[in-house]
Amino acid sequence: MTTLPARAATPPRTPARPTAPRRVRLLGRGAAVLVLTVGALVSAVPFYWMVVASTRDNAELFASPPPFLPGGRLLHNLVALQHSIGFGRVLLNSVGVSVVYTVLSSLISAMCGYGLAKFRFRGRGLLLGLVLATMMIPFQVLLVPLFQMMASLGWVDTYQAVILPFLANSFGIFLMRQAFLGFPDELIESARMDGAGDLRIFYRIVLPVVRPQLGALVIFSFMTQWNAFLWPLLMLNTEDKYTAPVALYTLIGQSHVDYAGLILGSFLATLPVMLLFFLFQKQFVSGLLGGAVKG
């Protein structure tokens, strides 16, 4: 039995409810807008302060009280950041690593999630257990043995060592499994009767239906790799190969911290993720509407 209907062509929106009195409805909407606005503001204020910090001198940030309006040192800080850690280069490194990771990991996670949700096979329980176990075990305790493995393979200071161990992403597999559980078996069955191969069914029929979750997975995978710090730091031993977070952390010194550069760098580093989020949000929200309903 399935609970999530796979009606991809229907708009996921609440239609007008003619039965509810207009005034009550407006009141409800007003409350909703208020809650959302407060939520959005609370979410955005710390972010706003990052903009303030990015445009100030390091020493100004320690003023009491801290500054609340942007200053005029954005360009200066930007030049300094490029000079101190070669920000452009490490950003490109990050893009490369994150894109490769995201494409492969999303695909592998979606496939595994599908396998776990829609097939019964020997070892399924064990695999699902392993997926959950890796999610449950604190990462910190895996560091040393995983590092030993990479070193034995001679992979230290390579990008494959950064990417490969975490390609099978238990969070993503679990997310996709939950999404596929709701997919009607009948659809798969009938496609099979039409003579479609399993892979074809997966790509052409099943995957498009879970596009919202797939979109979320892509964003999360990208974000995870993009912000990953400790593992890349352990793996990379050449400054030219550093990813953005690793390079930014070198701004934290023993008795000197370049906070302005640090915050400017982290702020700029969030922009690609925001862009991706924006693109995929649009994709997975309005893409499903087909052309049938106007956005």
Partner 1 sequence: MATGIQRRTVLTAGVVSTLFAAAGCATGGARKAGPALHSAATGQIKGTVSVWSWDVAAKALKRLAPAFEQRHPGVRIEVVDIGYDNAYDKITVGLKSGKGLPDVLTIEGGRLPGYIGVFPGGLYDITALAGRYRTSFAQAAWKYVTDGKGKVFALPWDSGPCALFYRTDILKDAGVDPASIRTWDDYIGAGERIKAKTGKKLLIMDPEEDSMFPMLLQQQGQHYVKNGLIAVNDQQGVRAATLLKTLADKGLVQFEKGWDGLVAATKAGKAATTPYAVWWSGTLTDEMKELKGKFGVVPLPAFDPGGVRTSNNGGSALAVTGQTKNAAAAWAFVEFMLADTANQASMLKAEGLFPAYLPALKDPYVTAPQDYYGGQPVFKTFADLASSVPPVEDTKDMPKARDIVNGTVSGIVLHGKDPKKELDSAAKQIAAATGRRIAG
Partner 2 sequence: MAQQTTARKPAAAARAKAAPARARRRTSRTTPWMFAGPAAALFGVFFAYPLLAGLYQSFTADRDGVTTWVGLAQYRRMMHDPVFWTSLRNIALILLVQVPLMIALALVMAYGLNQSWLRFRATYRIACFLPAVTMLVAYSVVFRVLLKTDDGLVDQALTAVGLPSIDWLNSPGWARIALIGSITWRWTGYNAVILLAGLQGIGREQYEAAAIDGAGPATTFLRVVLPQLRPVILFCLVTSTIGTLQLFDENYVLTKGGPGNATMSPVLYLYKVGFEQLDFGYAAAIAWVVVLIIGLISYAQFRFLGKDATR
> Per CB under 8 A, which of residues 22..41 are in contact with partner 2?
24-25, 28-29, 32-33, 35-37, 39-41
Exactly one of 125, 197, 208, 290 binds partner 1 (CB under 8 A); that residue is 125
- Strand extents, DSSP E, the chain: none
In angstroms, the CA 76 to CA 65 distance is: 23
Report DSSP letters for 32-93, one per residue: HHHHHHHHHHHHHHHHHHHHHHHTS-GGGGGSSSPP-S--S-HHHHHHHHHHHH-HHHHHHH
- Does the protein bind partner 1 through residue 151 (CB under 8 A)? yes
Q: Which one of partner 1, partner 2, none interacts with residue 142, CB within 5 to 8 A by kind?
A: partner 2
Q: Which residues within the stretch 220-259 sit at the binding site for partner 1 (CB under 8 A)?
A: 229-230, 233-234, 237-239, 246, 249-257, 259
Tokens representing 119 are 């097939």
Query: Of 9-17, 105-113, 178-186, 264-272, which part binds partner 1 (CB under 8 A)?
Result: 178-186
Instruction: Select 166 or 180, whichever has its Cβ closest to partner 1.
Output: 180
1 binds partner 1 (CB under 8 A): yes
CA distance 119 to 114: 8
Give the end-to-end CA distance of the chain in Å, rounded to a whole number: 32
Binding of partner 2 at residue 185 (CB under 8 A)? yes
The answer to whether the CB of 201 falls within 8 A of the CB of 208 is: no
* Residue of the chain from 99, 168, 233, 234 that contacts partner 2 (CB under 8 A): 168
Query: Which does residue 43 bind out of partner 2, partner 1, none, counting CB within 5 to 8 angstroms by kind?
Result: partner 2
Rounded Cα distance between 28 and 25, Å, is 5
CB of 255 to partner 2, least distance (A): 17
Q: Which does 254 bind (CB under 5 to 8 A by kind): partner 1, partner 2, none?
A: partner 1
Query: Which of residues 33, 103, 143, 293 is near partner 1 by CB under 8 A?
Result: 143
Give, as one character, the DSSP assignment of residue 206.
Answer: I
Give residues 80-119 in contact with partner 2 (rule: CB under 8 A): 108-109, 111-112, 114-116, 118-119
CA geometry: angle 153, 157, 161, nearest 5 deg:
55
Q: What angle do CA 241, 138, 243 make, to 5 degrees?
A: 10
- In 3-state terms, what secondary structure has residue 257? strand
Residues that bind partner 1 (CB under 8 A): 1, 58-59, 61-64, 117-118, 125-126, 128-130, 132-133, 136, 143-145, 147-148, 150-152, 156, 180-181, 185, 229-230, 233-234, 237-239, 246, 249-257, 259
